[in-house]
Structure 1
């Protein structure tokens, strides 16, 4: 999958904010905005742009500002995990795609992944391709995850194929 034209322009603009800007664009594209808590496909209480955790008040309606703050905090945690576990150089697109991936699947899954092993052995192409393996939730292949992983893989390869 190539990055669609409109999103390609947004990615280039987001790159000015670095990896977290790229990850924020991806996360908001796929998570959407929900001001009221809901259960995601795995039954996890979720709010805003995919925020999960014990800090969610199930009776509260969250403002856009609160949701942006939660997203910024969540992406910062994901980015720190990527920086902690990746031992090879990356460009902003690779790191942004991985930040979004870790935000979505969790740092524990990332730390144990074949994707990370490939990346740390400098198999950049294999690592980006491995994103496509993460399309199941509770054993069910989800169309939304297929689309998200295809785009993450394209973004992961974006700066390399220029």
Structure 2
């Protein structure tokens, strides 16, 4: 799946404001936004744009403003992980793609991934291409993850 022209424009519009600003556009485009908590394909309670954890209260209906605030709060955790873990220079687009990836798979998975190892070894193309491997839930390929990884890979390669 290629990046839509509207998403491309929104991402370019966020350029210069930093990786978190770009990720703030990217993550909801990939996650969607649900104001009522639901169980995701892995059975995890989720709300807004992929928020999980103690901030999710089953049965509560969230406002758009609450969702925006939760997204900012949660993105900070993943941005910190990316900033702490990556030891080589990266563009704000590469960083945003990695924040989105980490947001989806979790900090532990990101920090122990071949994506990070390849990146830190200076193998940018291999690292970005490696995002494609992360398309499984319970050993099954999930089409939504295939699409998401293609978008993240393309944005990751914008930094090349």
Judged with a 3 Å threshold, the aligned counterparts in structure 2 of structure 1 residues 4 and 59 are, in CA distance, closer, same or farther, namely closer
Listed as ranges, the gaps of 5+ residues in structure 2 are none
Q: 1:39 is matched with which residue?
A: 39
Judged with a 3 Å threshold, the aligned counterparts in structure 2 of structure 1 residues 2 and 31 are, in CA distance, closer, same or farther, namely closer
Aligned residues: 160
User: 2:25 aligned with 1:25, yes or no?
Assistant: yes
Listed as ranges, the gaps of 5+ residues in structure 1 are none
* Cα drift, residue 2 of structure 1: 5.2
Answer yes or no: is the 8 Å Cα contact 2:11–2:22 preserved in 1.
yes
TM-score between both structures, scaled by the size of structure 1? 0.94
CA-atom RMSD in angstroms:
1.2
Judged with a 3 Å threshold, the aligned counterparts in structure 2 of structure 1 residues 4 and 64 are, in CA distance, closer, same or farther, namely closer
* Cα drift, residue 7 of structure 1: 2.2
Work out the CA distance in 2 between the residues paired with 1:6 and 1:28.
13
TM-score between both structures, scaled by the size of structure 2? 0.96
Which stretch shows the higher mean deviation, 53-62 or 143-152?
A: 53-62
1:40-63 superposed Cα distances (whole Å, 9 cap, x missing partner):
000000011100002321121111
User: 2:76 aligned with 1:76, yes or no?
Assistant: yes
